[in-house]
């Protein structure tokens, strides 16, 4: 978990950007694994899930931040859950109205956004202490990071698992689908591979930063 | 001969086998099985074995370079994984899929856990389980053994272009002039049609199946040689086979028309190869004597249960992977009492 901001944060570019990389909810904080693994079997499912979660994050974050001085500390979790559930219900009905196919594909995971720990985590760690605008921007950043991560998983799984991206055939009819990639184990494989890649890039960056000072990379 | 006398305190170790020697012995023991596979299935089997071995060694070299811990190819374990993997695949398996299996086996099954000695499960079986889940059709496409043209042409699926679906082999098999080919291995015939292939055929290996699993006799001889060399724990294969036979026996006694005889269970499918060369994997099996026996019986019994009641025709792969997973627990349960130590008194709570 990222360290809690003790003071009121001023709005800056970092408020948004750190959700994409430095505090990416999936690749760095490893939160919200359940929807990440479950609905990332195709790119379109992944993006829809990401956008739905972003909406709930931003909406609930804004409302919690706005109400932060009125919510008693003792019942804050219950209050947050009520607020989050409100937005999840909105998303739930909205997706039903937009596309029933998508609704069927995402299944119970739309309702389960309410227990996604990214959202409660942001509410507790950020929204409950920060002003409205930074909260909104930060939530959007975290949501974008979540969407990017889901898309990264979903696109790989869809390309290997069915040879398509957003339903378009990439390799022609003779493609051999890797059945396992659209099944649950594929989610774990691809998530592991992305984590490997991200950590490798991160460590390489740190090693380069350390190198001029003469500190051995593995001495940390 | 004063020169030859050595005076030392115990233990008097006569010879110390190092990892490389053990691994090389295992490779030698598998060579006759490879030769039989090539004689039986021809060029395709040779290419398949070469591909899996090459891909396994290349993956091992790549990962050991990434880790910067010296080249671990020299310990021969990657060669074993490659050959074993090749032996468990159907002879006409597309080469690109075989390479994927070898990459996943070494990479996911071994390198990511920290290399040889740290892998939880048998790497070759990890690779095979991955392609079984990824390409379920290709891995159950069997071709006849001893096809007349096996040394002059490849099975058409072998050279499938990467990422492409292998073509159907039905027409090719029809053109071979092999009589009464049903497309089924002895195991599948037994399971679905309750027709038991004659025992001598399955024992000697004159049947179709995965490239190197067919000849139970040859595998038995090679395995016994390895056990005699001290390169595997004889308790493991013995208890796997005993566990399988004893589990199959009561069913067969009740209804020999449906259930296979213990003899057929032992000689068919991949059980013999798996018992001698995969279950006995030194890293992934329990180290205590009783642990080895419990582990073996567990694998043998589970194999038969999957064969008889599961959706799959052969269950030994998943049985061994489950056995591997249970291995550390079995080891912990069967710790021998230290000589002279007092039994731990249970603390009253």
CB pairs under 8 A between A and B: 29
Residue B205 confidence (pLDDT):
79
CA distance A135 to B133: 44
Is residue A177 in a domain? no
Q: Which of B271, B155, B153, B133 is nearest to B202 (CA)?
A: B271
Is residue A199 in a domain? no
Is residue A190 in a domain? no
Indicate if ipTM > 0.85.
no
Whole-model pTM: value is 0.84
Q: What is the pLDDT of residues A160-219, one digit of tens each?
A: 888 888 888 887 778 888 888 888 889 999 999 999 888 888 888 888 887 665 444 454
Nearest to B163 among A175, A181, A185 (CB): A175
Domain count for chain A, please give it.
Answer: 1
| Partner residues linked to A175 by β-bridges | B164
CA distance B295 to A99: 52
Q: Which of A33, A9, A7 is nearest to A139 (CA)?
A: A9
Which of A159, A169, A180 to mutate to probe the B interface, most B CBs <10 Å? A180
Q: What are the start-end ranges of the H helices in chain B?
A: 19-41, 43-67, 77-88, 95-109, 123-134, 170-174, 186-188, 199-204, 216-229, 235-254, 262-267, 271-273, 289-309, 316-333
Is residue B288 in a domain? yes
Residues B65-91, mean pLDDT to the nearest whole number: 87
Residue A92 domain boundaries? 13-157
**Secondary structure (DSSP) of B284-296:** TS--SHHHHHHHH
Cα dist from A55 to A18, A77, A88, A144, B263, whole Å = 18, 20, 9, 10, 64
Is residue B7 in a domain? no
A180: nearest CA partner in chain B = B134
Taking all residues of chain A, what is their mean pLDDT, rounded to a whole number?
A: 86
Q: B11 pLDDT band (50/70/90 cuts)?
A: low
Residues B150-169, mean pLDDT to the nearest whole number: 83
pLDDT of A56 above 80: yes
Is residue A62 in a domain? yes
Question: Using CA of residue A30, residue A36, residue A40, residue A44, what is the dihedral sign?
Answer: negative
Domain count for chain B, please give it.
Answer: 1
Is residue B338 in a domain? no
Residue A14 confidence (pLDDT):
83
Chain A positions touching B136 (Cβ under 8 A) are 179
CA distance A146 to B258: 54
Closest-CA distance of chain A to residue B67, Å: 12
Residue B182 confidence (pLDDT):
62
Closest-CA distance of chain B to residue A193, Å: 10
Say if the Cβ atoms of A178 and B108 lie within 8 Å: no
Residue A67 falls in which region: left (phi positive, over 0), alpha (psi -120 to 50) or beta: alpha
Residues A28-35, mean pLDDT to the nearest whole number: 86
Q: By the 8 A CB rule, do B187 and B22 touch? A: no
Q: B13 pLDDT band (50/70/90 cuts)?
A: low
Residue B270 domain boundaries? 19-172+181-330
Residue B235 confidence (pLDDT):
92
Is residue A82 in a domain? yes
**Can you tell me whether residue A165 is helix, strand or coil?**
strand
**Can you tell me whether residue A168 is helix, strand or coil?**
strand
Is residue A38 in a domain? yes
Closest-CA distance of chain A to residue B157, Å: 13
CA distance B248 to B307: 10
Residue B12 confidence (pLDDT):
63
- For B331, residues 6+ apart whose C-beta sits below 8 A from its C-beta are B286, B287, B288, B291
Cα dist from B252 to A195, B255, B300, B308, B319, whole Å = 50, 5, 16, 11, 21
Residue B1 confidence (pLDDT):
46
Say if the Cβ atoms of A179 and B138 lie within 8 Å: no
Q: What is the pLDDT of residues A86-110, one digit of tens each?
A: 999 999 999 999 989 888 888 888 8
Is residue B8 in a domain? no
Say if the Cβ atoms of B134 and A181 lie within 8 Å: yes
pLDDT of A1 above 60: no
Residue B160 confidence (pLDDT):
83
Chain A positions touching B134 (Cβ under 8 A) are 178-181
Say if the Cβ atoms of A178 and B135 lie within 8 Å: yes
Residues B216-236, mean pLDDT to the nearest whole number: 90
Residue A220 confidence (pLDDT):
41
Q: B183 pLDDT band (50/70/90 cuts)?
A: low
- The vertex-B29 CA angle with B23 and B34, nearest 5°, equals 115
Say if the Cβ atoms of B136 and A179 lie within 8 Å: yes
Is residue B230 in a domain? yes
């Amino acid at each position: 978990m990222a360290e809690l901001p003790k003071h009121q944060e001023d709005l800056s570019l970092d408020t948004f950007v750190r959700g994409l990389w430095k505090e990416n909810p999936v690749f760095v904080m490893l939160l919200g694994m359940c929807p990440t693994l479950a609905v990332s079997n195709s790119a379109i499912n992944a993006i829809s899930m990401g956008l739905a979660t972003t909406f709930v994050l931003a909406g609930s974050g804004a409302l919690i931040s706005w109400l932060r001085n009125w919510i008693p500390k003792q019942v804050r979790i219950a209050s947050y859950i009520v607020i989050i559930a409100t937005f999840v219900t909105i998303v739930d009905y909205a997706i039903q109205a937009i596309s029933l196919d998508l609704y069927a594909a995402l299944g119970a995971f739309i309702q389960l956004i309410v227990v996604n720990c990214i959202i409660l985590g942001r509410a507790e760690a950020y929204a409950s202490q920060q002003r409205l605008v930074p909260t909104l921007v930060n939530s959007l950043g975290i949501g974008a990071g979540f969407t990017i991560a889901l898309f990264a998983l979903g696109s790989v799984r869809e390309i290997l698992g069915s040879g398509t991206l957003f339903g378009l055939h990439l390799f022609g009819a003779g493609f051999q689908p890797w059945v396992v990639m659209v099944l649950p184990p594929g989610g774990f494989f691809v998530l592991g591979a992305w984590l490997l890649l991200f950590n490798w890039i991160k460590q390489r960056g740190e090693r380069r930063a350390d190198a001029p000072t003469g500190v051995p990379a593995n001495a940390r | 001969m004063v020169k030859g006398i050595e005076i030392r305190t115990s233990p008097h170790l006569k010879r110390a086998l190092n990892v490389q020697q053990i691994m090389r012995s295992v490779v030698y023991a598998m060579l006759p099985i490879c030769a039989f596979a090539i004689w039986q299935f021809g060029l395709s089997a040779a290419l398949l074995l070469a591909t899996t071995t090459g891909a396994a060694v290349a993956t091992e070299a790549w990962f050991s370079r990434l880790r910067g811990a010296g080249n671990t190819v020299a310990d021969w374990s990657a060669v074993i994984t490659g050959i074993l993997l090749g032996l468990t695949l159907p002879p006409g398996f597309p080469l690109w899929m075989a390479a994927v299996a070898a990459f996943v086996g070494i990479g996911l099954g071994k390198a990511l856990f920290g290399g040889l000695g740290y892998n939880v499960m048998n790497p070759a079986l990890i690779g095979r389980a991955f392609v079984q889940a990824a390409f379920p059709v290709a891995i159950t496409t069997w071709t006849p053994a001893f096809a007349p043209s096996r040394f002059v042409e490849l099975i058409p699926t072998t050279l499938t272009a990467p990422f492409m679906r292998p073509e159907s082999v039905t027409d090719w098999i029809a053109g071979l002039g092999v009589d009464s080919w049903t497309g089924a291995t002895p195991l599948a015939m037994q399971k679905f049609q309750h027709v038991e292939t004659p025992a001598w055929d399955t024992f000697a290996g004159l049947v179709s199946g995965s490239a190197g699993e067919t000849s139970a006799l040859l595998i038995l001889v090679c395995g016994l040689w390895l056990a005699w060399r001290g390169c595997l724990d004889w308790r493991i294969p013995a208890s796997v086979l005993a566990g399988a036979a004893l589990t199959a026996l009561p069913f067969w006694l009740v209804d020999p028309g449906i259930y296979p005889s213990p003899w057929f269970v032992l000689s068919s499918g991949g059980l013999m190869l798996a018992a001698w060369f995969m279950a006995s994997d030194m890293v992934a099996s329990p180290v205590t004597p009783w642990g080895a026996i419990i582990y073996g019986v567990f694998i043998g019994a589970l194999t038969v249960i999957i064969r008889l009641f599961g959706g799959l025709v052969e269950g030994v792969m998943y049985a061994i992977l489950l056995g591997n997973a249970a291995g550390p627990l079995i080891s912990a349960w069967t710790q021998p009492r230290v000589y002279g130590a007092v039994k731990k008194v249970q603390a009253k709570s």
